[in-house]
C-alpha cells in the first residue's frame, strides 16, 4: 500500500476509497455505483473493501457480497491489467475456441479464470461477444476484437499489450 502524501497515516488507496463511499454515505441504493468505482480504483473487491463499503452505505456485508458474486463484472480476486475474454458461444466453439484457449494457456502459462503472475493478463471464457462472423473470436479489454483466430497468431497479438 502507498502511504498518503499528507502524512495522515492512512494509505492513499483507502483515502480514495473513502472518497468514493462519501458520495453515497448512508445510501444503500448507491451500492452498485460504489462497487463499480471501487473496482475501477483497486482492480477487484477484496473483503476489506466490501466491509468498508457495507459500513459506509449502511448495508450488511452479506448484501454486498451477494451483489459482488451475482454480477460477473465484479471480481473477488486480483485481475490483470488486460482482460482477455475468449468467446465460447456456439459459432466460436464450432470454429475453434478450444484451440485458441490452448494457445493462450501455452503462451501465458495460465488457465481460464486465472491471472498471470505479473498481473498483465486475465483470461476468461464468455458467451457470444457479438462477432460471430469472425469466429473464433476473443475481445481484449472490452474493446479490441480479434477474430478468425489461428493459434499461431496468439503470441503476436499478446505482444501488442506488452
Ligand atoms: S459465438 Fe462467438 S462471437 Fe458469437
What number does the ligand 1 atom closest to the CA of 129 have? 3
What would the pLDDT profile of 69-94 be if each residue is shown by its tens digit? 999 789 898 888 899 999 999 999 99
Separation in Å, CA 64 to CA 50, 57, 116, 149: 6, 10, 27, 39
Domain 80-158: CATH class, spelled out: alpha beta
**How many whole angstroms from 100 Cα to the centroid of ligand 1?**
13
H-state helical runs in the chain: 12-23, 31-42, 47-57, 61-70, 90-95, 97-108, 154-159
The domain spans of the chain are 6-68, 80-158
* 139 Cβ below 6 A of ligand 1: no
Distance (Å, whole) CA 132 – CA 88: 10
- State the burial class of residue 136 (Cβ atoms within 10 Å of its Cβ: 0-12, 13-18, 19+): buried
Is the full-model pTM beyond 0.75?
Answer: no
Q: What does the pLDDT read at residue 4?
A: 45
**How many whole angstroms from 127 Cα to the centroid of ligand 1?**
7
Q: What does the pLDDT read at residue 140?
A: 96
All three cell numbers of 5, joined, read: 502524501
Helix, strand, coil abundance in the chain, percent, nearest 5: 50, 15, 40
| pLDDT higher than 70, residue 121 | yes
**How many whole angstroms from 155 Cα to the centroid of ligand 1?**
22
Cβ neighbours, 10 Å, residue 84:
26
Amino acid at each position: 500500500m502507498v502511504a498518503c502524501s499528507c502524512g495522515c497515516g492512512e494509505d492513499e488507496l483507502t483515502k480514495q476509497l473513502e472518497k468514493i463511499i462519501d458520495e453515497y454515505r448512508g445510501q444503500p441504493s448507491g451500492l452498485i455505483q460504489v462497487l463499480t468505482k471501487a473496482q475501477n480504483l483497486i482492480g477487484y473487491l477484496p473483503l476489506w473493501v466490501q466491509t468498508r463499503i457495507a459500513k459506509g452505505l449502511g448495508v450488511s456485508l452479506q448484501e454486498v457480497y451477494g451483489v459482488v458474486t451475482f454480477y460477473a463484472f465484479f471480481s473477488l480476486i486480483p485481475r490483470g491489467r488486460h482482460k482477455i475474454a475468449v468467446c465460447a458461444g456456439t459459432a466460436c466453439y464450432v470454429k475453434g475456441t478450444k484451440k485458441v484457449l490452448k494457445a493462450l494457456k501455452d503462451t501465458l502459462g495460465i488457465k481460464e479464470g486465472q491471472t498471470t503472475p505479473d498481473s498483465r493478463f486475465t483470461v476468461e471464457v464468455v458467451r457470444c461477444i457479438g462477432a460471430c462472423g469472425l469466429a473464433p473470436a476473443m475481445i481484449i479489454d472490452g474493446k479490441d476484437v480479434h477474430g478468425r483466430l489461428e493459434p499461431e497468431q496468439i503470441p503476436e497479438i499478446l505482444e501488442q499489450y506488452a
